[in-house]
Structure 1
């Protein structure tokens, strides 16, 4: 189980299970991360995460995170 998020997670890269960058953590609070999406993030990945193309800051819930390792937060494979 992944720990709750905290200030030390700010600035970490968020990546898919395949290692593709989704965005960067702009704010971390408990069970939610605020993410600034990568500019080159594909439409299909945005749709799977429930993000629109116009979103500049999106929320990612702890339930979608598989692990936190170093400077990266890894999403679950089934997303």
Structure 2
């Protein structure tokens, strides 16, 4: 996927492959969405996206984790096994 993220994406929910909201886009920095994870899902999200070593309020969402972007949401891929690592973040 080759997504172009813009300020129009700020405020969109970020959902997993099942459609469950895991966070919200809080900002776009240099074309990369910054995600504020939902408190109830933060541990799972951090583990799936390789953010365990990061302790931030928002996390960078890397393009390779995104399945699609619609007018209403950003949906993540079902298989995130090749996305994790501290350089990819959520």
TM-score with structure 2 length normalisation? 0.75
Gaps of 5+ in 1: none
- In 2, the alpha carbon distance for the partners of 1:54 and 1:3 equals 26
- In 1, the alpha carbon distance for the partners of 2:12 and 2:73 equals 5
The number of residue pairs the alignment matches comes to: 79
Partner of 1:56: 57
Partner of 2:11: 11
Gaps of 5+ in 2: 81-90
Deviations for 1:14-73, whole angstroms, at most 9, x for unmatched residues?
A: 000111111110112455210111111152332011123843111111111010122210
Per mean C-alpha deviation after superposition, the further-off stretch among 50-59 and 12-21 is: 50-59
Q: Helix, strand or coil: the match of 1:40?
A: helix
Q: RMSD of the alignment, in Å?
A: 1.9
- Does the Cα contact within 8 Å between 2:37 and 2:45 map onto a contact in 1? no
Task: Please say if 1:47 is aligned against 2:47.
Answer: yes
TM-score with structure 1 length normalisation? 0.84
